[in-house]
């Protein structure tokens, strides 16, 4: 517990011409920020912005010390600033590649978690058996197989967390060997070899573009098992057309899963260095407090993971847009910075094909929570990455091998983004939310951190931690350490709220790039 006086507003940077309401403020409320004493000219809700200075129409609005947009009309001190008087607009960003590389942090030594050591040498935090559908045509069969292995059927395998069907809406109607096919292969291969998977079977229809043989060769997949499993061999695959249809494939797949369950169960948790942990980060249902409470606190935890020798993944490129200049400056080299710039340029091109732009954001719910422009949202979102140097930039679902803070190119849509990050190897996710996302992502546990206390208390059955205490005076560093400790506990077997609900199978959504042919 802590003793602190609740605060009225949050003033983030000495150059800001706005502050943020720390709770609902009625008209006439008196506030002080940056040497200004003001009276609100209208009510301002939790997470929304208040003008501290007179801002003329067309002039920049500054938050976090950065431009978040431009006033569309004259704004007086004490006025509410939101979509009615603020727009994103365009402004030049100075990328200054690798110009502000932070020094390495003081090493955090001796930290461990209790995980599963795989025959491959990888370290897992969970132990699932996967039924992986290569195409939508085999999705129902894959689900029927997984459904056979309910809690009652798994009672004799206490070390197995469940049998999960990984299904999706693609796998055909795409260019063979093209970008969309390569992306899907990386996702399916990443799930098959994921350290949280103790065994898997692949099921296809037989005539699809995403053929089983091509997947096995492209991803170099081998069968896996428990500690006493035989040497690696080609995994079990089933083609519905070859086996003889729906019923016969279900029975054949159930026999395969039954055979691998004893091997998958033959594991025990052991002490593993924290340097082997890959932490995925994501934010969803964000609000005006996300960049003030939960995301900066997660940034503290991220820096601690990096200091311990581990890896932290920041995704959601469309929610980096407008803040990428902060990351390019932190890149270890100009080459790494350019890789992020190239992805930003790709997104500008890709969205333009559909008459859209990367700043088609925030969502209506984000705006209700106080966010106004994509620049504002992105500046708050990148805070999840802490302050460490950026060591690499990865394609969607590419296997993450670098240590330290890395970026993965993913869309902002939560299930699609997290699917790529998990397929890239993340064994634990931390998911921050202001509006209240009820999210899970098997086979990786997802820790949900609330940005404000009212939502945390309202959705207590879905939220794991409350970062809203920062708005009551608790230190960001203190909450960050709490998140760090929770990551270790969950990596060691503590169940998250979403795991308690069984959420995480339907949220497997690979990114589908390109035309449907």
Residues composing the chain = 517
Backbone angles phi, psi at 312, to 5 degrees: -125, 130
Average pLDDT value over all residues in the chain: 94
Sheet with strand 128-133: strands edge to edge: 162-166, 128-133, 197-204, 237-239
- From CA 166, how far away is CA 181, in angstroms rounded? 17
Greatest alpha-carbon pair distance for the chain in Å reads 77
Task: Tell me the CATH number for domain 116-265.
Answer: 3.40.50
Determine contact, residues 372/362, Cβ cutoff 8 Å. Answer: yes
The 8-class DSSP code of residue 234 comes to P
pTM here? Answer: 0.95
Using CA atoms, how far residue 253 sits from 165, 206, 229, 452, 454, in Å, is 12, 15, 19, 46, 46
Reading the chain (517 residues) residue by residue, the pLDDT tens digits are 444 556 899 999 999 999 999 999 999 999 999 999 999 999 999 999 999 999 999 999 999 999 999 999 999 999 999 999 999 888 788 999 999 999 998 999 999 999 999 999 999 999 999 999 999 999 999 999 999 999 999 999 999 999 999 999 999 999 999 999 999 999 999 999 999 999 999 999 999 999 999 999 999 998 765 444 555 678 899 999 999 999 999 999 999 999 999 999 999 999 999 999 999 999 999 999 999 999 999 999 999 999 999 999 999 999 999 999 999 999 999 999 999 999 999 999 999 999 988 776 688 889 999 999 999 999 999 999 999 999 999 999 999 999 999 999 999 999 999 999 999 999 999 999 999 999 999 999 999 999 999 999 999 999 999 999 999 999 999 999 999 999 999 999 999 999 999 999 999 999 999 889 8
Structurally, at CATH architecture level, domain 9-87 sits in Roll (2.30)
How far, CA to CA in Å, does 28 sit from each of 16, 24, 42, 44, 79?
A: 22, 12, 7, 10, 11
Half-sphere exposure in the Cβ direction for 349 (13 Å, CA): 7
What is the C-alpha to C-alpha distance for residues 247 and 249, in angstroms, rounded to an integer?
5
* DSSP strands (E only) in 119-216: 123-124, 128-133, 162-166, 197-204
Burial-class residue 303 by CB neighbours within 10 Å (0-12, 13-18, 19+): buried
* Residue-range domain boundaries for the chain: 9-87, 116-265, 273-500
DSSP 444: B
Query: Phi and psi at residue 461, in whole multiples of 5°?
Result: -75, -10
Taking the C-alpha atoms of residue 470 and residue 453, their distance in angstroms, rounded to an integer, is: 9
């Amino acid at each position: 517990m802590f003793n602190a006086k609740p605060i009225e507003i949050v003033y983030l940077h000495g150059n800001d011409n706005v502050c943020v309401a720390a709770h609902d403020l009625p008209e006439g409320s008196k506030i002080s920020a940056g040497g200004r004493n003001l009276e609100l000219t209208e009510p301002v809700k939790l997470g929304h912005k208040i003008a501290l200075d007179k801002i003329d129409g067309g002039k920049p609005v500054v938050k976090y010390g950065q431009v978040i947009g431009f006033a569309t009309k004259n704004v007086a001190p004490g006025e509410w600033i939101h979509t009615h008087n603020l727009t994103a607009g365009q402004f030049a960003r100075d990328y200054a590649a690798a110009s502000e590389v932070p020094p390495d942090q003081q090493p955090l030594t001796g930290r461990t978690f209790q995980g599963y050591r795989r025959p491959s040498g990888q370290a897992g935090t969970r132990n699932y058996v996967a039924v992986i559908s290569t195409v939508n045509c085999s999705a129902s069969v894959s689900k029927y197989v997984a459904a056979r292995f309910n809690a009652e059927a798994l009672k004799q395998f206490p070390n197995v967390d469940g049998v999960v069907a990984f299904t999706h809406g693609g796998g055909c109607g795409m260019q063979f060997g093209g970008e969309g096919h390569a992306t899907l292969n990386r996702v399916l291969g990443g799930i098959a070899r994921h350290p949280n998977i103790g065994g898997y079977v692949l099921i296809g229809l037989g005539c699809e573009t995403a053929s089983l043989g091509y997947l096995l060769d492209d991803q170099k997949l081998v069968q896996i098992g428990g500690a006493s499993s035989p040497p690696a061999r080609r995994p079990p695959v089933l083609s519905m057309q070859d086996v003889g249809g729906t019923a016969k494939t279900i029975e054949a797949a159930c026999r395969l899963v039954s055979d691998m369950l004893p091997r998958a169960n033959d594991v025990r948790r052991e002490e593993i260095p924290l340097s082997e942990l890959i932490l995925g980060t994501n934010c969803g249902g964000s609000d005006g407090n996300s960049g003030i409470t939960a995301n900066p606190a997660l940034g503290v935890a991220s820096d601690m993971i990096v200091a311990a020798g581990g890896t932290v993944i920041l995704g959601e490129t469309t929610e980096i847009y407008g803040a990428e200049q902060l990351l390019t400056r932190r890149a270890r080299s100009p080459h790494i910075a350019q890789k992020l710039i190239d992805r930003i340029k790709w997104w500008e091109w890709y969205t333009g094909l559909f008459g859209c732009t990367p700043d088609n954001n925030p969502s209506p719910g984000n705006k209700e929570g106080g966010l106004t422009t994509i620049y504002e949202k992105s500046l708050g979102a990148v805070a999840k990455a802490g302050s460490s140097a950026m060591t690499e930039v990865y394609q969607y679902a590419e296997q993450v091998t670098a240590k330290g803070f890395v970026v993965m190119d993913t869309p902002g849509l939560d299930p699609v983004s997290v699917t790529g990050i998990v397929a890239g190897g993340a064994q634990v996710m931390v998911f921050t939310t202001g509006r209240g996302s009820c999210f899970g992502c098997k086979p990786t546990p997802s820790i949900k951190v609330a940005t404000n206390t009212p939502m945390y208390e309202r959705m207590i059955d879905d939220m794991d931690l409350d970062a809203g205490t920062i708005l009551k005076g608790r230190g960001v560093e203190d909450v960050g350490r709490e998140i760090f400790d929770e990551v270790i506990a969950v990596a060691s077997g503590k169940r998250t709220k979403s795991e308690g609900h069984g959420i995480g199978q339907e949220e497997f959504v690979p990114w589908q790039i390109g035309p449907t042919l």
